[in-house]
Structure 1
Amino acid sequence: MSDDRRPPRFITPDGMARLRAEYDQLFGVERPKLVDTIAWAADNGDRSENGDYIYGRKRLREIDRRLGYLSKAMKGAKVVDPASQRERDTVRFGATVELADEDDNRRIITLVGEDESDADQGRVSWAAPIARALIGARVGDERIVRLPSGEKSYELMAIRYPEPG
């Protein structure tokens, strides 16, 4: 399947801004400094034992790989603003939800794009099992999530979306 026919990679405006900022930092700041360092190190003679040159080339490859990934991710991204969600009583992309498990342990997560998920910050990819189970749910609904550790039941306690504007 060609890249043009793949489904879009949903991302929030904040997520797109983070990708863009990382791209700009790498391309506009880190990469030029590194190229200067490599050129300086190359002028110092024997490159086979020149740590600055060897490390610089390795780091440059890492940066170029990351820039390629970021460029592809931004090109294929479809920005969806959760604040523009009209149906605020059901869970959709960008929703922040409060869940309670069988033991009434509470958890708050926000459904975001794959490129912006961060479990430590409560941002869960909309393609993750827990997010897929919650899509379309309303407050009071119970959803069973199949996890590697087994099935877990959650009750949806609250749904929030950012305010428009």
Structure 2
Amino acid sequence: MRLWLRLMACLAMLCSIPAAHAEPLEVMLGGERFYLEVVDDPASRRQGLMGREFLAPDEGMLFDFPSSTTPAIWMRNMLISLDLLFVDEQSRLVKVFTDVPPCDAPPCDIYRVERPIRFVIEVAAGTADRLGLESGMVLNLGRITRQPAPYQ
């Protein structure tokens, strides 16, 4: 009976892990349409794309942080390489990290910028180069930039 209770507790915890918003955000990056899962709470940000084995060329994840945040991203438990796009409150691309590899075990490299930003976008490795994305560009993030991130 004790084992059964532990299994039920584990299942309850797994079911309570927040998922990305069900409807992806449609944005334009480098003139191409992308569908980004939006994560805007601490638990879903921690989960991110961990465990994913594949990311389509037109898909990604947008991490929406509270204003004045300087997030740190690492690739622990990732299975695929990604491009990381750090974007400020005005949708300006602040920094691009390309072909960021997964990290199997700590210590993992930490990716961050020295100034506050609002978003980090993760897309498949090679996307930033393919689209010619560079620091200073303004991205079209659609409806997401019209509302402040929830304070968490």
Structure with higher RCO (Cα < 8 A, 6+ apart): 2
Structure number with higher helix proportion: 1
Structure number with higher strand proportion: 2
TM-score under structure 1 normalisation? 0.29
**Higher Cα radius of gyration:** 1
